[in-house]
Amino acid sequence: MFSKKCPYCRGKNLYLKQTSLVVKYGCRDCDKKVKLMRENGMSDKDIMKVIK
C-alpha cells in the first residue's frame, strides 16, 4: 500500500499524478531527479540509494 510518503526522498510533498489508467502520486521534491535517473537506465533501487 502507498504510505503517502515519497518512496525515494521520504518527503510528504506529494501531488496526484493522473495517467490514463491509474492514479499515481508524484513527488514535488524529487520527481524530476527520479525521471532523469530512470531515463538513464537506473532501477528504482538505485534511485532510492542515491536520493536517500
User: In terms of CB distance, is 27 or 37 closer to Zn ion?
Assistant: 27
Give least dist CB 13 to Zn ion, A: 7
Q: Give residues in contact with Zn ion (CB under 5 A).
A: 6, 8-9, 11, 27, 29-30
User: In terms of CB distance, is 17 or 20 closer to Zn ion?
Assistant: 17
Q: Is 8 exposed, middle or buried (0-12, 13-18, 19+ CB in 10 A)?
A: buried
User: In terms of CB distance, is 30 or 37 closer to Zn ion?
Assistant: 30
